[in-house]
Amino acid sequence: MGLFDDDFYSTKVSRRTRAFSKERRILSSKQTRRNWSSVRIAFISSSTSAIAAVLLFGLFFNGGVGGSAKVQAVSTAKMSDDSESLEMKTIQASAKVRPAVVSVINEQQQVFSMGVPNEEGEGSESKESTEKNSLQQAGVGSGFIFKKENGKAYIMTNYHVTVDADALKVTLISGEERAAKIIGEDQISDLAVLEIDDKGIDTIAEIGDSSALQPAEFVIAIGNPLGLGDSLSMGIVSKTRQIVPVSLNQDGNYDWEQEVIQVDASINQGNSGGPLINLDGQVVGINSMKIADIGVEGLGFAIPTNNAMPIVSDLLANGYVPRPYLGVYTMDLAQYFAQQGGSAGGESDSSKDGSDDEAEGAAQLILPEDVRAGVIVLEAVGPAKEAGLVFNDVIVRLDKQAVGSTMELRKYLYSKKHIGDKVEVTFYRDGKLTTAQLSLTDKVEE
């Protein structure tokens, strides 16, 4: 007898136990069949309900999970199509304009001294010398062909690209160089028009409506940055109308304000004068300037075409832009006070600066204590001279408009007056307030 000799642990089963177990299995089998039938019915009912719910959800929401996947697929496809569309528009727009874009080369005379060798043949200790003039490249910019007429092609560019040139050349997209002639320049708007022979030129840039530009609209700048040749840069319109102060005489004193389009497309030296185009391949601006300062990136400006085209029309018709002319060369009174405090500098009503002698004379001004803003006359010519204005007069008002600077004087004349209009000038002379009437004329080259 084993240690665990009982029915529970033993592998031997008695006849009575087997009979009892058989009967219990039969009963369990019947009960299991009854239980399985109930479970099966419940399972089938639940499954049917779930399927019905899924079908109903699908009907209401375009096919349920399958519908969502379909919508997602359609959205992804649309985004892909939009991306391809933007890419194609960029390629097509640039291809439409690029053949009309040129590089503008400003050449200026350079004078070289050539020594005559002495008896020892050493040119460094020459007794005599001769001078030889040679045209050298002084600057490179960009431009674009916007008109063809009577065998000539006309190019729009910036004034600061062509200024002081003794000769101008343009390089076409093919690499061919042609001599260019200046038709007209305007310093105030920073625009110039050139003329070349139109042989072989087939593409003319289309001028667009700059007033239709919107913030965040894609634009492309085309030009010749850093003299590297035909180049593109893309960005968005940051601001459709920005007012930027400029110094016409490049003396650091702001004497005019330029209305421009602000963009974040890269505009570097050499891009000046090139076109800023929209995705329809239309010119909406003339690349003009970039803010170059530490920490400043992606801040470029372009002259709107809607502002440029009236100027260009005047340049084509007259070679210059007719504007009402007062006939005074000036220095701001504020600049005079700064000079008295140890600062130097001056600005004028035109491209002519006041001399040191004139600035020294202006230091003898006699003014009431409360007069701190105005424009000092350094020289009077034309209408101003005829009206009796002289050196050291301080203009403080034109008509009823207060004038505190050369910029304000220009803005009033150019925006409110026309050639032939009369203007009343109020000024101080030797501390006394007086007035003079004069008629504005067109400026004559001096």
Point out the residues that are catalytic.
160, 190, 272
What distances in angstroms separate CA 256 from CA 244, 314, 353, 355, one per listed residue? 9, 20, 15, 21
Residue 371 exposed, middle or buried by CB count within 10 Å (0-12, 13-18, 19+): middle
Cα-based angle 43, 47, 50 (whole degrees, multiple of 5): 140
| 422 strand-pairing partners | 439
DSSP state of 293: -
Euclidean distance between CA atoms 269 and 140, whole angstroms: 8
Euclidean distance between CA atoms 161 and 139, whole angstroms: 7
Cβ atoms of residues 236 and 276 within 8 Å: no
How far is CA 298 from its chain centroid?
A: 9
CA atoms within 13 A on the CB side of 268: 13
Tokens 């093919």 correspond to 174
Euclidean distance between CA atoms 103 and 139, whole angstroms: 11
Using only C-alpha atoms, what is the Rg of the chain?
Answer: 42
The DSSP result for 250-285, as a single string, is: SSS---EEEEEEEE-S---TT-TT-EEE-TTSEEEE
Euclidean distance between CA atoms 183 and 191, whole angstroms: 11
Tokens 């959800």 correspond to 57
What SS3 class is residue 195? strand
Which of 207, 264, 210, 268 is closest to 240 using CA atoms? 210
Which of 255, 218, 227, 235 is closest to 329 using CA atoms? 255
What SS3 class is residue 3? coil
Query: Which distant-in-sequence residues (6+ apart) come within 8 Å of 143 by Cβ?
Result: 101, 102, 103, 104, 155, 156, 157, 161, 170, 194, 273, 274
Euclidean distance between CA atoms 266 and 261, whole angstroms: 13
Cβ atoms of residues 422 and 416 within 8 Å: no
